[in-house]
Amino acid sequence: MTKVTYSLANLSNLEEITSLFRDTIQTVNIKDYSLQEIEAWSLGADNTANWIRRIKTHHFVLAKIENKLVGMASVDDKGYLDVIYIHYLYQGMGVATSLLDQMIERSKFLGHTQITSDISITAKPFFIDKGFQIIEPQLVLCRGVVLRNYNVRLHIGDASDNNSNNNN
């Protein structure tokens, strides 16, 4: 695989971020969700204010190959993994694992002992494989449409382990 480069997102990346979000839902998640669910969910790409907030306040990392956005992930300061999306042509190539590892390291750096998220049906096998536990299945309202997802948690060590490994 061609070398993947990682960088923090900034506002100049907004268009490619929202395109990756929309395109991934419409090409990857379509296997597990109805057309109505996909339409409601992918409209989240149009919520510019929410994306700007994420870019400004989250640890938001982009993965690129030859300057093409192939993946993205963000975690907030509370250890909540808010976003992880991988371009449909780059699924299964280790990009998601690398991004997840970076989000876990950021959470450890902040002193968290767990990372939590709300994940799609499509993403469930990936997260289970990475050791996440399902806390509960959920039905969430998304622009008037009910979507099924899962609240998950991964224990990432205790605070004393995290602080002793931090050499900064």
CA distances from 69 to 4, 61, 63 (A): 10, 11, 6
Lowest-confidence range among 27-41, 92-106, 151-165? 151-165
In this prediction, residue 168 has a pLDDT band, given cuts at 50, 70 and 90, of very low
Distance CA 70, CA 110 (A): 27
Question: Which residues, other chains included, contact 151 with Cβ-Cβ below 8 Å and sequence gap of 6+?
Answer: 116, 117, 118, 134, 135, 136, 138
Asked whether the beta carbons of 147 and 40 are under 8 A apart, the reply is yes
Residue 158 has what pLDDT?
66
